[in-house]
Structure 1
Amino acid sequence: MVAYQVLTGAASTTRDAKRLTGIARSSAERDRRRPTPAAPVRRAPANALTPAEREQVLCLLNSLEFVDAAPAQIYAALLDQGVYVGSIATMYRVLREHAQVRERRRLARHPARWRPELVADAPWQVYTWDITKLAGPAKGVYYDA
């Protein structure tokens, strides 16, 4: 649509602009008469947390008491203590801003398994075994080789 408007604005006829862009004159005229909606101006909510309050929530979420708990558990524990710092969604929002939305429990990390590598530089140094299944004469019948 922009190309059509540029062509008609540059002293080109609407017929030529239609032929070059493939846009019908009626569609272009309808689009020109349609008012463009103004982008709504969004203001911050009156009850939004200040940066200092957000930092306080993050420190609380990462404190030793709550470091391995989910936001819903933290929310319930704080309400039991009579403390309200924000909703569960607010806690998740603060964690997401700091890329901390993940498993919060301390999980064991298993080391990678070491597989022995046997190297032979002469005959009769390394012995191994292998069982291979060979298909038998009927379905479901196998032979170990």
Structure 2
Amino acid sequence: MKAEFFTDAKPLTVSKENFGLERGPLAHVLVNAMLVSDTAKGGSLQYQVGYQLVYKPDSPGKKLPALITTPDMSSFCRLFLERGKHYLLGGMLDQNGGARVDLCSLAIPWKNVTGKQHRELLSYRCD
């Protein structure tokens, strides 16, 4: 399974195959802040992001979630993102349209994305 694109929520059926998650878009994001949630309420961290460019959105023009959630503990595959840094990020969407990322998600510091990769992302087409 490859991480693809964050998109706005669609009704999902929870199954053993998807655990209530759906692929989301691939996007160039800027991490603006890290928000810590109460561990008694699910134990997660949220990153507030700004979208610089979204590649292959399922529904162009739809608003994407500004908060991206990751587990709060590294033992649960927490993804560490640095405030003020740009990333090429791909993850999953939950049933409520929330974006989720973890260590299995695509997360490349933007400075490590080559010119060739960037051109290929810009020319990506779904046929």
TM-score normalised to the size of structure 1? 0.18
Between Structure 1 and Structure 2, whose CA radius of gyration is higher? Answer: 1
Greater per-residue strand proportion: 2
Greater per-residue helix proportion: 1
